[in-house]
Amino acid sequence: MSPKNAYKKKSLELVALALTFLVSFGLLFYVLFSFGCEQTTAAEGDVQTVDYSFAQEIIKLPFTEALAFCLAPDGTFWIAVKGKLHHVNKHGKSLNEMKHPGTVTALELSDNVLYSATADSVFKLDLKQNNTQNVPFIKLKQGSLITSLAISGERLFLADCAHKMVLAYDFAGKELWQSKGNGGFVIPSPYFCLCADGDDGIWVTNPGHRRLERYDKDGRYLSMWEPNKSVKFIGCCNPAKMKILPDGTVVTLEKGMVRSRLFSPAGNVTKI
């Protein structure tokens, strides 16, 4: 991948993260196509300069409510609204829409298969055949609340906020393991997020402890990450959303202050 394309991919991943965060708060939102934030000095983790005028292109989406979001490799977006899935291009034009059973809480895409979650179920959409299952291929126990999906290696990972656990499945829908974390996930509010770690495992938020935790593909705890003390997360439970970029940059979005921050792997803020 060329440096230009790599930068574009990173920017789009940031867009996806920011959009998912705004969706989770039920806001009317816009797609921001370039995170041209001014670089901060970030001496000892302190932000010296903040530039909020980073939107080089603003695209209004063709609806006012959205529930979940994911980014496709071609730069288009899949967005869930009540009872439907929309396929939207980078100019905001709706390319396709289809009905979806239940209220979607999370979306993830891999190898032309779109995975969509409702509170206790996961469905599959084969994009080549443009058809979806009306019957879930994964069904959790009653009272579950899936808030995040991630694909890493040959596994599909689910974050169940209600039962404070992570579950792993193969692509046939067979459960491989479940974990309540290293000492337990503390989740005071319904924000529980996970993402691929680039090495077949996952990163998971532990918002009550204000940190991220890394697990391997078999659910073994590997390590934890948190910002430096001078820029630590605040509130009862943050971050609400996060993404780990290929270079190790940690992107987080917080509720309460509703802000996005980029951290170096060492925990210093580099952009806000």
Asked whether residue 146 carries a pLDDT value surpassing 90, the answer given is yes
- Nearest Cα neighbor of 70 from 128, 117, 138 is 117
Strands laid side by side in the 211-215 sheet: 194-196, 202-206, 211-215, 221-225
List the one residue out of 162, 83, 78 whose CA is nearest residue 120: 162
Name every residue whose Cβ is closer than 8 Å to that of residue 86 and which is 6 or more positions away in sequence.
Answer: 62, 63, 78, 79, 80, 94, 96, 97
Contact 66, 80 (CB under 8 A): yes
C-alpha closest to that of 151 among 203, 106, 108: 108
User: Does residue 41 register a pLDDT over 70?
Assistant: no
Most confident of 18-32, 52-66, 170-184, 253-267: 170-184
The closest of 80, 63, 155, 76 to 119, measured between CA atoms, is 80
The region, left, alpha or beta by phi > 0 then psi within -120 to 50, assigned to residue 119 is: alpha
Q: Do residues 236 and 189 lie in contact, with contact meaning Cβ atoms separated by under 8 Å?
A: yes
pLDDT score, position 45: 37
Q: What is the 3-state secondary structure (H, E, C) of 79-111?
A: EEECCEEEEECCCCCEEEEEECCCCCCEEEEEC
Q: Which residue has the higher pLDDT, 19 or 132?
A: 132
pLDDT band at 127 (very low <50, low <70, confident <90, very high): confident
Q: Which of 152, 92, 144, 77 shows the shortest CA–CA distance to 117? A: 144
pTM of the model: 0.80
Task: Estimate the share of the chain in helix, then strand, then coil, as percent rounded to the nearest 5.
Answer: 10, 40, 50
**8 A C-beta contact, residue 167 and residue 178:** yes
Residue 30 has pLDDT above 80, yes or no: no
pLDDT per residue as tens digits for the range 176-196:
999 999 999 999 999 999 999
In the chain, the amino acid numbered 200 is D
Nearest-CA neighbor of 75 among 153, 28, 13, 24?
Answer: 13
**Stretch 154-173: mean pLDDT, rounded?**
97
* Per-residue pLDDT tens over the stretch 214-261: 999 999 999 999 999 889 998 889 999 999 988 899 999 898 877 888
Place of tokens 């943050």: 238
Residue 74 has pLDDT above 60, yes or no: yes
Quick one: DSSP state of residue 223?
E
Per-residue pLDDT at 58: 65
Q: What pLDDT, on a 0 to 100 scale, did the predictor assign at position 238?
A: 92
